Structure 1
């Protein structure tokens, strides 16, 4: 009975949240854009403003998501991530996925149950890490960069992911200051029914490694906390 009530609460909460989003934002079609050398130049200007070299040299990243329910320690050099939520822990190997391990309450899982939990960890990591390091993924394999002329006369950088991650085909329009530093993006993504939803990227910290990373994001009335963000070597 308690589980049924909880499920109904989740469904009603999701419907309410969806309704608030639809009321708060008007759907925007994907803007017209053009690719070329100027788009790549703007992307490089953005990476330079973010001290991309410091991010490249960073080995460990730590953060959490969903109010601390998902917790991560990512070893970029080794290509591994420790993912924890509830009573699950996954030692995720991003290079050799079949070498990943999943545990529940400290006990190793096996078979289909292990595969399911490992895949959930992969999906969560792809989403939750994007909210942490998306500005550094402008030249990932399968990305298309293009320029959008904004209403105020400035230029935005539209990045479309044609492959990789869990939702290929998503597009993000980065809004930059005069120095190329990002302060927000607009999203056209498969899991959100309206296009042009704006999320802030303005709550930055300079981490121990020198890389810029966000502490939180604002989406209208909502705040997405990234928890205790750390980056070090």
Structure 2
């Protein structure tokens, strides 16, 4: 009984410490101003990254941390997601597809949904800057450290609609970092860098994000 009481006490202390850390580290979602200036800033950001070049790419492949490998056939609206012994092939229009385990086709909705969530998350870390004017987005200007930053709020789409992202831009309107407020991360305003930019057929792609954990995109082609 004494051991049980000590264990419960430690768990309560840990829970309190986590809750206090979240409270102290979290930032409130900033209030921005919608309108022509916000739309112009979004357009300048897309121009700096050459969105038309990204739109013209038919197939792109890359690897994401934790062993997630992708081949995305944008032209035919299909993506292959591979991890461990699993392969999930998704129609990006219908969000339906097939699941393979060790090369054998299986019927497993949980595995399919896992692959779909991986694709939404991992592709967002690849091309989020190109999605600031997607349907269902709201853009606002926010004053951040004396400069204009772009707040993008997603009202629909993806796995977690309702998420918000604050893009911090350099003088050329290329992202330096973002802060985000999402339902999956309890700490609001967590910041990650956008750096190590490469040119993919003229489109600018960031391949490294430094933050609480570092995210490195590899095998991009």
The TM-score bracket by the shorter chain reads 0.7 to 0.9
The CA distance in 1 between the partners of 2:189 and 2:140, in whole Å, is: 16
Structure 2 unaligned regions, length at least 5: 1-13
Rounded Cα–Cα distance in structure 1 between residues aligned with 2:91 and 2:26? 38
Aligned twin of 2:127:
133
Distance (whole Å) between structure 2 residues aligned to residue 83 and residue 108 of structure 1: 14
Q: Distance in 1 between matches of 2:209 and 2:182?
A: 17
Which deviates more, 115-124 or 71-80?
115-124
1:101 correspondence with 2:98: yes
Match of 2:211 in 1: 219
Map of 1:27 onto structure 2: 26
Number of the residue aligned with 2:148: 155
1:80 is aligned to 2:71:
no
Query: How much does 1:77 deviate?
Result: 1.1
Distance 1:192 1:116 in 2: 22
Q: What's the TM-score once normalised by structure 1's chain length? A: 0.83
Specify every segment of 5 or more residues in structure 1 that has no aligned partner in the other structure, as ranges: 1-14
Match of 2:118 among 115, 118, 124: 124
Distance 2:69 2:216 in 1: 12
Does the residue aligned with 1:219 lie in a helix, a strand or coil?
coil
Residue 226 of structure 1, CA deviation = 1.2
Structure with higher Rg: it is: 2
CA RMSD of aligned residues (A): 1.7
Q: Distance in 1 between matches of 2:95 and 2:129?
A: 25
Number of aligned residues: 203
